[in-house]
Amino acid sequence: MSAIESVLVENRVFPPSEAIVKAARISGMPAYEALCKEAEQDFEGFWARLARENVVWNKPFTKTLDESKAPFYKWFEDGELNASANCLDKHIGTPTENKTAIVFESDDGTVTRISYKELLAKVSRFANALKAQGIKKGDRVLVYMPMGVEGVVAMQACARIGATHSVVFGGFSAKSVQERIIDAGAVAVITANFQMRGGKELGLKSIIDEALAMGGCDTLKSVLVYMRTATPCNMVAGRDKTFDEALAGQSDECKPEPVGAEHPLFILYTSGSTGKPKGVQHSTGGYLLWAKLTMDWTFDIRPEDLFWCTADIGWITGHTYVCYGPLAAGATQLIFEGIPTFPHAGRFWQMIEKHKVSIFYTAPTAIRSLIKAAETDEKVHPKNWDLSSLRILGTVGEPINPEAWMWYHRNVGGERCPIVDTFWQTETGGHVITPLPGATPTVPGSCTLPLPGIMAAIVDEAGKDIPNGSGGMLVIKRPWPSMIRTIWGDPERFKKSYFPEEMGGKLYLAGDGAVRNADNAYFRITGRIDDVLNVSGHRLGTMEIESALVSKTDLVAEAAVVGRPDDLTGEAVCAFVVLKRSRPTGEEAKQIANELRNWVAKEIGPIAKPKDIRFGDNLPKTRSGKIMRRLLRSIAKGEAITQDITTLENPAILEQLAEKL
């Protein structure tokens, strides 16, 4: 076995305890395997059964899957339903109706609660207000809201009248908002005067004004403004209305509009590897089924749970696991307005204790930054809070390095909570490869096995299967209910990006590299395909090198690795490193860089040694916490930055990282 392969072998295995297995909905591996088998033996019958059991249909579907226009697959097409009715009305007349749907904690720590019944009234009233604005079924509505109950209400109200929402994360610029309004042909914007983050009032309505002033938003007729704070904002007569104005006199009863299962519930823009952001279009029936089902499968949600997904509604995770999944499951969830480091970096742990959170779902990036904080300041270490209410932990959005996984397992999960490392994408609608908490033995850094019915595989460039133990491209061989339906307004790009002809045109190409373990067939995501480096003919995952660097736990807090062209070796490895101590300069920096090179050589092999090492106080990240690797590639190459850096949290550090040792 080569040195590179050896780093991929993670020997620690954490099976769920017997008690957890016993109590779980999918109890033990045989139960998981039975579901997989059912899906393999009768693919359509399997999905039809689940769709009947988990979704309330106004009109039952008669055909499960239509593949005649593949890859434009259609699920449950002649069925009719309403997504909001499946999240709210369904619970009325059951014990859930008076249960708390949302516990909201604001930036300043104020807590409010809303029951299912109250939420239904609020959504219905808002839906009536949308109708009064002339918004109807099929119209697109852009949502640009802070985290909170009103954001969820806005999305649910759109769903209730059959309007298609397109949520844009509150950290995106006016230019991005304008482009999305135009691309989606939005007729209305739902926004707030301000959002509160870290004790600061940040303008949202002002950004909408700026976006609209850029011109071209000809379809847009109205702007509804939630007054989050008492500070007034600019209002344009005839176009803009506050929520209070729009809601005045509206009834809190509104019949949900049944839509066809394939009706677009939402469009969510996400970056592709090239070109402008693409509007990922999702369906209503298949998407909703998946949101509900994965709450049951992946989180094993129970009536007494307090579920907390920290994602913003501006991202897919906030759609599926804040707006739709928890409500469809009848769960009580916590929604948090603020940021994890305000007023201190123990906020998450404090909130888990305070609200007795039982399922906690967050991003590896957040975990890593809180590890760093806890290691510099004992007072914000999770051990200062009682986290015994937790029973399941989850991660999402990027590969989690085994060290962060172990820390999460020990310090947050008290070595008792299964960690579900959920792999999925905006395009998949919900989890596709993930452990099941009451079945799958977990391995740090592995998303383990596909959910039942998800025919995930690893193939080469020609779409041919690759044996376990070797890396390749992650694909899904059969359609699944919550998959992307098309790219809004660009079906050709949809086909090209996700079902490339070179691979036969039938495999869904995830865009990630992955490897399955030779023994247990567990998946490990090695990062985006565009992040795979080739150094002197050796394939290296940037993640492997990053993992090696951060495993030097006495020194390294965070690391990002990219490739840059090199005359001698084809590509060279360039590492951007944040140390646990202050940023070194001069001779000292050179010395530490050497220490790290030798460390990587020791961990993986000399070929993986970073040629360049740059130190920064931080790494360039989007507000959602993703490292902006394309920016790092430019810096590594010594190019001027031409990319859009509007979502960059901390632009000042770019200069530091450009500094050569």
Query: ∠ CA 130-131-137 to the nearest 5 degrees?
Result: 100
Task: Say how far apart CA 487 and CA 492 lie, in whole Å.
Answer: 8
The answer to whether residue 124 forms part of the interface with ligand WTA (CB under 6 A) is no
Q: How far is the CB of 484 from ligand WTA (least distance, A)?
A: 10
Binding mask 334-353 for ligand WTA (x = CB under 6 A): --------------------
Beta carbons within 10 angstroms of residue 49's beta carbon: 13
Q: Which is nearer to ligand WTA, 369 or 422 (CB)?
A: 422
Beta bridge mates, 578? 558
Q: Which is nearer to ligand WTA, 270 or 647 (CB)?
A: 270
The β-bridge partners of 523 are 448, 516
- Cis before 450 (ω within 30): no
396: contact with ligand WTA by CB under 6 A: yes
**Smallest distance, Å, CB 604 to ligand WTA?**
19
Binding positions for ATP are: 397-399, 421-426, 512, 528, 539
Please, which residues bridge with residue 194 across strands?
203
Tell me the residue ranges of DSSP E strands in 235-376.
240-242, 259-260, 266-270, 278-282, 306-309, 332-336, 359-362
Instruction: Tell me which of 89, 398, 403, 612 binds ligand WTA, using CB under 6 A.
Output: 398
Cis peptide before 343 (omega within 30 of 0): yes
**CB nearer to ligand WTA: pick between 397 and 438:** 397
Which residue, 171 or 330, has its beta carbon nearer to ligand WTA? 171
Q: Write down the least CB distance from residue 541 to ligand WTA, Å.
A: 11
- Residue 397 found at the interface with ligand WTA (CB under 6 A): yes
Closest CA to 349 of 396, 314, 389: 389
Report in angstroms how near the CB of residue 399 gets to ligand WTA at its nearest: 4
Minimum distance, C-beta of residue 280 to ligand WTA, in the bound complex (Å):
8
Nearer to ligand WTA, 284 or 317 (CB): 317
Q: Which residues are annotated as a binding site?
A: 197-200, 317, 397-399, 421-426, 512, 528, 536, 539, 550, 556
Least distance (Å) from ligand WTA to the CB of residue 300?
A: 18
Pick the closer one to ligand WTA by CB: 441 or 511.
Answer: 511
The total of other beta-carbon atoms located within 10 Å of residue 245's CB is 12
> How, if at all, do strands 140-144 and 100-105 pair?
unpaired
Contacts with ligand WTA, 527-566, as mask; x by CB under 6 A: -x--------------------------------------
CB of 37 to ligand WTA, least distance (A): 25
- Per-residue x/- track, 431-470, ligand WTA (CB under 6 A): ----------------x-----------------------
Q: 166 or 193, CB closer to ligand WTA? A: 166
Half-sphere exposure of 618 (CA within 13 A, CB side): 17
CB of 429 to ligand WTA, least distance (A): 10
Long-range contacts of 525-530 (CB under 8 A, 24+ apart): 525/399, 525/423, 525/433, 525/447, 525/474, 526/399, 526/471, 527/399, 528/273, 528/629, 529/473, 530/273
Query: Looking at residue 342, what DSSP letter applies?
Result: S
Closest contact distance (angstroms) between CB of 456 and ligand WTA is: 13
Binding-site sequence positions for Mg(2+)? 550, 556
Residues flagged as binding site for CoA: 197-200, 317, 536
Burial of 94 (0-12, 13-18, 19+ CB in 10 A): exposed
* Residue list 248-287, contact with ligand WTA (CB under 6 A): 270
- In terms of phi and psi (left: phi > 0; alpha: psi -120 to 50; beta: otherwise), the region of 185 is left
Binding test (CB under 6 A) with ligand WTA, winner from 51, 316, 509, 532: 316
Rounded least distance, CB 210 to ligand WTA, Å: 26
In single-letter form, the type of residue at position 580 comes to K
What residues have CB less than 8 Å from 40, skipping those under 6 apart?
Answer: none
Near ligand WTA by CB under 6 A, which window of 59-67, 136-144, 244-252, 315-323? 315-323
DSSP annotation of 100 reads: E
Q: Interhelix angle for 586-603 vs 542-550, to 10°? A: 110
312 interacts with ligand WTA by CB under 6 A: no
Smallest separation, CB 315 to ligand WTA (Å): 6
486-487/306-309 β-pairing:
unpaired
Pick one of 365, 422, 442, 482: the residue that binds ligand WTA (CB under 6 A): 422
- State the nearest-atom distance from the C-beta of 425 to ligand WTA, in Å: 4
Helix (H) or strand (E) holding 51: helix 43-54
- The residue among 326 and 397 lying less far from ligand WTA, judged by its C-beta, is 397
In the bound complex, what is the minimum distance in angstroms from residue 303's beta carbon to ligand WTA? 26
240 binds ligand WTA (CB under 6 A): no
Query: Of 222-230, 296-304, 310-318, 583-591, which part binds ligand WTA (CB under 6 A)?
Result: 310-318
Nearer to ligand WTA, 208 or 543 (CB): 543
**343 versus 511: smaller Cβ distance to ligand WTA:** 511
- Return the exposure string of 462-500: e unless at least 16 CB atoms fall within 10 Å of the residue's CB, then b: ebeebeeeebbbbbbebbbbbbbbbbbebeebbbebbbe
Q: Is 421 helix (H, G, I), strand (E, B) or coil?
A: strand
Binders of ligand WTA among residues 486 to 525 (CB under 6 A) are 510-512, 525
CB 647 within 8 A of CB 622: yes
- As a whole number of angstroms, the distance between CA 94 and CA 329 comes to 13
Which one of residues 28, 171, 260, 399 is an interface residue with ligand WTA (CB under 6 A)?
Answer: 399
Nearest residue by C-beta to ligand WTA? Answer: 426
Compute the residue count for the chain: 661
**Which residues on neighbouring strands pair with residue 260, listed in sequence order?**
80
**Looking only at residues 62 through 101 of this chain, which bind ligand WTA when binding is defined by CB under 6 A?**
none
Residue 563 forms beta bridges with which residues?
A: 573
Per rule CB under 6 A, count of chain residues that contact ligand WTA: 20
One residue of 421, 544, 603, 612 binding ligand WTA per CB under 6 A: 421
| 179 binding ligand WTA? (CB under 6 A) | no
The phi, psi pair for 225, rounded to 5°, reads -120, 120
Q: Of these, 317, 482, 497, 622, which contacts ligand WTA (CB under 6 A)?
A: 317
Q: Give per-residue burial for 281-301: e unless 16+ CB within 10 Å, then b.
A: bbbbbbbbbbbbbbbbbbbbb
Q: Which H or E run includes 604?
A: none
CB of residue 287 to ligand WTA, shortest distance in Å: 14
3-state secondary structure of 189: strand
Binding part of the chain for ligand WTA, among 252-260, 312-320, 328-336, 490-498 by CB under 6 A, reads 312-320
**Residue 279 one-letter amino acid:** G
Told to check if 424 binds ligand WTA by CB under 6 A, we report yes
Give residues in contact with ligand WTA (CB under 6 A).
Answer: 270, 315-317, 396-399, 421-426, 447, 510-512, 525, 528
